[in-house]
Amino acid sequence: SQQGEEDPQALSIQEGENATMNCSYKTSINNLQWYRQNSGRGLVHLILIRSNEREKHSGRLRVTLDTSKKSSSLLITASRAADTASYFCATHLSGNTPLVFGKGTRLSVIA
């Protein structure tokens, strides 16, 4: 079963705008990760946030984690056409458990 659920399923914005995607999960986690997938390609890791962290930044990416609400958000600032892709959250529970992915958000950035 899938642990994470991204919201919205699809998002279309103009170049230069900010894009926010949300992820909700069901059980306690060790860490939460965000991945990007361009059409027809493999997934690329963007950022990892541990359960004891609340916010992380990487370039134009900002990720927040609220363990009390079991939710995370990914903010992409000043979006570019090249950011057009599907974005997935993935959770790592604990111990030797696998990485479990959500269904993803399809982001379209229009130039």
Partner 1 sequence: EAGVAQSPRYKIIEKRQSVAFWCNPISGHATLYWYQQILGQGPKLLIQFQNNGVVDDSQLPKDRFSAERLKGVDSTLKIQPAKLEDSAVYLCASSLMSGGNTEAFFGQGTRLTVV
Site string (79-98) toward partner 1, x via CB under 8 A: ---------x-x-x-xxxxx
Residue 81, SS3 per DSSP? helix
When the beta carbons of 41 and 69 are compared against partner 1, the nearer one is: 41
Question: Restricting to residues 42-71, which ones interact with partner 1 according to CB under 8 A?
Answer: 42-45, 48, 50
Residues 6+ apart with CB under 8 A from 46: 33, 34, 35, 36, 58, 61, 74, 87
In angstroms, give the least distance from the CB of 51 to partner 1: 9
103 binds partner 1 (CB under 8 A): yes
When the beta carbons of 8 and 16 are compared against partner 1, the nearer one is: 8
What is the DSSP code (8-state) at residue 17?
Answer: S
Q: Are 35 and 44 in contact (CB under 8 A)?
A: yes
Q: Are 19 and 75 in contact (CB under 8 A)?
A: yes
Q: Can you give the binding site for partner 1, defined by CB under 8 A?
A: 2, 30-31, 33, 35, 41-45, 48, 50, 88, 90, 92, 94-104
